[in-house]
């Protein structure tokens, strides 16, 4: 496929013959190196690490230990989290200094190293602020603990819904591990099942948390076989599970499981001044390598085919200029995958794009780096109507569906969005977007879909799921 001039695709030589990195499980008796280990490959298939895969018995015993442990007092939790964040970002943890860790993440996940670097900061900041963040979700009437003087007259007290919190983590982006730290801040004991796509971040984070003061029976890491995954959920009181529509369907009716499904973030452009917002649109699509749930999947443009085509052309022009680079290159922007996986994504994209007009990537999006890996180059496809099903096809690289939208379409095509950026001055429309229950976050004006801040909800506050109120009355 055509690629911009001056692109460097030579693979950068790797750290030669380093001893294998061992990603041990973290159980109730400290680190555990399993007999059953999986080799974690880089994007070319070369081995990077050995991940210990533990059996259900290990998980059960780990959860039993978490359940019977007393959490640290709140102030100590806050201090330990703060310390863990600093260790995670700056210290040598488990034998890996921050640069080695980031290199491994980048080579394993194919994420641009700059994205990994920024994510390290995001996770560290989340750890430092977790104890303050969770308080944002506390109902105003509720006291933080039963000893509060208000309970002498009878008062609401904010308490945990359970004690053990399980996380089926995702491996698309290290930033996903920022969220579950809030459960630790609230006194939950946490067990994390890492994704094989990128186990380095949760391993480093749990190691840092233990070094920072959380005990072996406060936080655990258990990589398991797929068939054991449900054991982790079954044993915990509450769980956070990342996945696709299948996971959302599977756990949709469970009030103890919080599924984190596709983001399907969208941008709505009304009026004619979208050109001044092109940077925000491009960034919403391509920032984070297009791998995050908060990347824009669709752009809806008020008007007809001509207006949508103009936006699609402008986006294609900008996205086409991004170079193809190996992920560890400091200038890399696009994600890299093993060649076969990249080809599978490409085939899926082209199948999904039937009936759509290609503005970029119509002949394919795979740029073979020649070492077994390939860059996933951006794709821009135009649809002929706002309710075309492709607006919900979220792929893990900069891929955007542009569709025309009119007032007559209403907000139906904008539903089911983790983030909706509306570049509009129509307050009535904004009102309806804010009221729409299936839109999780609404940004009005020149704000990218990936905008996030500690203390603000991402997909509601996690603490809304983790906590409840109860009345306490005492003499």
Partner 1 sequence: MSDDGRTDPVLDCPAEETPDGQELITAAMRWHFSPRTGSPFWLERAATLDFDPLTDVKSFDDLRLFPNIVNELRDVRVEELIPRGLAPDDLYGVYESGGTTGAPKRVICTTDWMDRWLAFSQRHLDARGCPRGVNWLALMPDGPHIFGAALREGAKRSGGILFTVDMDPRWVKKCIAEGRGEDAARYADHLATQAGFLLETQDIGVMITTPPLLQRLAQDDRMVELINEKVRYIQWGGAHMDADTRHLFGTEVFPGVQLQGAYGSTMILGGSLERIDPPAEDVCVFDPFAPYISFSVIDPATGETVPYGERGQVVMNHVSKAMLLPNNLERDTAVRMRPPEGQMGDSVADVSPVATFDDQAVIEGVY
Give the interface with partner 1 as residue ranges (CB under 8 A).
Answer: 29, 34-36, 38, 53-58, 60-61, 64, 170-173, 195-196, 225-227, 230, 234, 242-245, 247, 260-263, 291-293, 295, 341, 344-345, 348, 393-396
Nearer to partner 1, 59 or 280 (CB): 59
Nearer to partner 1, 98 or 171 (CB): 171
238-242 β-sheet, strand order: 30-32, 25-27, 219-221, 189-193, 164-168, 238-242, 257-260
Nearer to partner 1, 263 or 448 (CB): 263
Rounded to an integer, what distance in angstroms lies between the CA atom of residue 330 and that of residue 418? 29
CB of 93 to partner 1, least distance (A): 24
**319's tokens:** 């996205």
357-360 β-sheet, strand order: 357-360, 379-382, 399-405, 296-302, 265-269, 417-423, 439-444
Which stretches of 304-426 are DSSP H helices? 305-320, 339-352
Q: What dihedral do alpha carbons 231, 465, 254, 420 form, nearest 10°?
A: -110
CB of 261 to partner 1, least distance (A): 7
Nearer to partner 1, 200 or 405 (CB): 200
CB of 465 to partner 1, least distance (A): 18
CB of 95 to partner 1, least distance (A): 23
CB of 342 to partner 1, least distance (A): 11
Contact (Cβ atoms closer than 8 angstroms) between residue 106 and residue 116: yes
Rounded to an integer, what distance in angstroms lies between the CA atom of residue 36 and that of residue 50? 10
Nearer to partner 1, 225 or 331 (CB): 225
Whole-angstrom CA distances from 452 to 170, 419, 445 are: 18, 10, 15
Nearer to partner 1, 289 or 413 (CB): 289
Mapping DSSP to helix (H, G, I), strand (E, B) and coil, where does residue 414 land?
helix
Q: What dihedral do alpha carbons 346, 352, 355, 358 form, nearest 10°?
A: -40
CB of 347 to partner 1, least distance (A): 9
CB of 211 to partner 1, least distance (A): 24
């Amino acid at each position: 496929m055509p690629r911009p001039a001056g692109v460097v695709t030579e693979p950068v030589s790797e750290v030669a013959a380093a001893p294998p990195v061992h990603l041990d499980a973290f159980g109730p008796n400290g680190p555990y190196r399993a007999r059953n280990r999986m080799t974690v490959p880089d994007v070319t298939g070369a081995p990077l690490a050995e991940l210990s895969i533990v059996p259900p018995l290990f998980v059960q015993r780990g959860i039993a230990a978490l359940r019977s442990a007393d959490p640290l007092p709140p102030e100590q939790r806050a201090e330990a989290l703060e310390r863990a964040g600093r260790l995670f970002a700056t210290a040598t943890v488990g034998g890996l200094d921050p640069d080695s860790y980031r290199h491994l993440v980048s080579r394993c996940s194919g994420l641009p190293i700059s994205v990994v670097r920024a994510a390290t900061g995001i996770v560290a900041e989340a750890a430092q602020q977790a104890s303050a963040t969770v308080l944002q979700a506390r109902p105003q009437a509720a006291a933080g603990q039963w000893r509060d003087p208000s309970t002498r007259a009878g008062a609401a007290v904010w308490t945990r819904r359970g004690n053990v919190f399980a996380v089926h983590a995702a491996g698309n982006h290290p930033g996903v591990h920022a969220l579950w730290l809030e459960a630790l801040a609230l006194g939950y004991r946490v067990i994390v099942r890492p994704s094989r796509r990128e186990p380095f971040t949760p391993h480093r984070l749990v190691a840092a948390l233990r070094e920072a003061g959380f005990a072996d029976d406060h936080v655990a890491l258990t990589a398991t076989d797929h068939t054991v995954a449900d054991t982790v959920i079954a044993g915990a009181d509450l769980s956070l599970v990342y996945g696709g529509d299948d996971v959302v369907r599977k756990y949709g009716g469970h009030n103890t499981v919080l599924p984190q499904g596709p983001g399907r973030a969208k941008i709505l452009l009304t009026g004619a001044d979208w050109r001044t917002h092109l940077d925000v649109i491009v960034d919403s699509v391509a920032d984070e390598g297009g791998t995050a749930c908060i990347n824009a999947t669709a752009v809806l443009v008020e008007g007809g085919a001509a207006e949508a085509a103009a936006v699609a052309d402008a986006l294609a022009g900008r996205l086409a200029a991004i170079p193809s680079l190996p992920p560890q290159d400091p200038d890399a922007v696009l994600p890299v995958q093993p060649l076969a996986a990249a080809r599978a994504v490409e085939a899926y994209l082209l199948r999904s794009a039937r009936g759509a007009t290609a503005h970029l990537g119509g002949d394919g999006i795979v740029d073979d780096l020649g070492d077994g890996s390939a860059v996933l180059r951006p794709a821009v496809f135009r649809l002929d109507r706002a309710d075309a099903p492709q607006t919900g096809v979220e792929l893990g690289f900069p891929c955007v569906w542009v569709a025309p939208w009119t007032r007559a379409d209403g907000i139906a095509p904008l539903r089911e969005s983790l983030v909706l950026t509306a570049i509009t001055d129509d307050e009535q429309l904004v009102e309806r977007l804010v009221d729409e229950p299936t839109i999780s976050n609404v940004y009005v004006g020149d704000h990218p879909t990936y905008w996030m801040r500690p203390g603000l909800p991402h997909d509601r506050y996690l603490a809304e799921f983790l906590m409840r109120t109860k009345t306490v009355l005492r003499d």
